[in-house]
Amino acid sequence: MTAAASTFHATEAWAAEEDRRDPLAWTREEFVLPRDSDGTPLVYLSGNSLGLMPKAVPDLVRAELEDWARHGVEGHFDARTPWYAYHEQFREPLARLAGAHPDEVVAMNGLTVNLHLMMVSFYRPAGARRLILIEDSAFPSDRYAVATHLRARGQDAKECLLVARPRAGEPTLRPEDLESLLARRGEEIALVLLSGVQYYTGQCFPMERITETAQRAGCVVGFDLAHAIGNVELALHRWGVDFAVWCSYKYLNAGPGAVAGCFVHRRHGENPDLPRFAGWWGNDPATRFRMHLNEDFVPRPGADGWQLSNPPVLAMTPLRASLALFDRAGLPALRQKAGRLTGYLEFLVDQRASAGLELLTPRDPVQRGCQLSYRVRSGGPAVLDALRSHGVVADLRQPDVIRLAPVPLYTTFSDVRRAALALIESCA
- Among 297, 326, 355, the domain boundary falls at 326
The whole-angstrom separation of Cα 374 and Cα 201 is 8
Q: pLDDT tens across 39-59, in order?
A: 999 999 999 999 999 999 999
Q: Let me know whether 307 and 344 are in one domain.
A: no
182 in a structural domain: yes
The whole-angstrom separation of Cα 399 and Cα 139 is 16
Q: Let me know whether 320 and 410 are in one domain.
A: no
Q: pLDDT tens across 66-106, in order?
A: 999 999 999 999 999 999 999 999 999 999 999 999 999 99
Split into its structural domains, the chain has a count of 2
Burial (0-12, 13-18, 19+ Cβ within 10 Å), 209:
middle
pLDDT score recorded for residue 419: 97
Per DSSP, the three-state class of 235 is coil
Q: Let me know whether 291 and 335 are in one domain.
A: no
Burial (0-12, 13-18, 19+ Cβ within 10 Å), 366:
exposed
174 in a structural domain: yes
48 in a structural domain: no
Distances (CA, A) of 251 to 162, 247, 264, 406: 29, 9, 21, 11
pLDDT score recorded for residue 291: 73
Listed residue (411, 269, 246) closest to 343, CA to CA:
411
Mean pLDDT of 25-33: 98
Q: Let me know whether 288 and 403 are in one domain.
A: no
Q: Let me know whether 322 and 339 are in one domain.
A: no
Q: Let me know whether 267 and 354 are in one domain.
A: no
Mean pLDDT of 171-196: 96
Per DSSP, the three-state class of 51 is coil
pLDDT score recorded for residue 3: 47
Is 80 exceeded by the pLDDT of residue 353? no
pLDDT band at 168, cuts 50/70/90? Answer: very high
Is 80 exceeded by the pLDDT of residue 274? yes
Q: pLDDT tens across 220-263, in order?
A: 999 999 999 999 999 999 999 999 999 999 999 999 999 999 99
Q: pLDDT tens across 117-139, in order?
A: 999 999 999 999 999 999 998 99
40 in a structural domain: no
Is 90 exceeded by the pLDDT of residue 295? no
Can you give the residue range of the structural domain that contains 359?
5-30+330-427
Do residues 396 and 384 lie in contact, with contact meaning Cβ atoms separated by under 8 Å? yes
CATH code, domain with 26: 3.90.1150.10
Q: Which residue has the higher pLDDT, 397 or 291?
A: 397
Mean pLDDT of 405-428: 95
37 in a structural domain: no
Is 50 exceeded by the pLDDT of residue 310? yes
Q: Let me know whether 319 and 413 are in one domain.
A: no
- Among 288, 308, 326, the domain boundary falls at 326
Distances (CA, A) of 220 to 156, 216, 242, 408: 19, 10, 6, 33
Is 50 exceeded by the pLDDT of residue 192? yes
Q: Let me know whether 267 and 201 are in one domain.
A: yes
Do residues 224 and 190 lie in contact, with contact meaning Cβ atoms separated by under 8 Å? no
35 in a structural domain: no
Q: Let me know whether 13 and 157 are in one domain.
A: no
Do residues 134 and 143 lie in contact, with contact meaning Cβ atoms separated by under 8 Å? yes
CA 139 distance to own-chain centroid: 11
Listed residue (273, 279, 275) closest to 304, CA to CA:
279
pLDDT score recorded for residue 1: 46
What is the average pLDDT value for the chain, to the nearest integer? 95
CATH code, domain with 233: 3.40.640.10
pLDDT score recorded for residue 2: 56
Q: Let me know whether 10 and 140 are in one domain.
A: no
pLDDT band at 36, cuts 50/70/90? Answer: very high
What share of residues in the chain are helix, strand, coil (percent, to 5)? 45, 15, 40
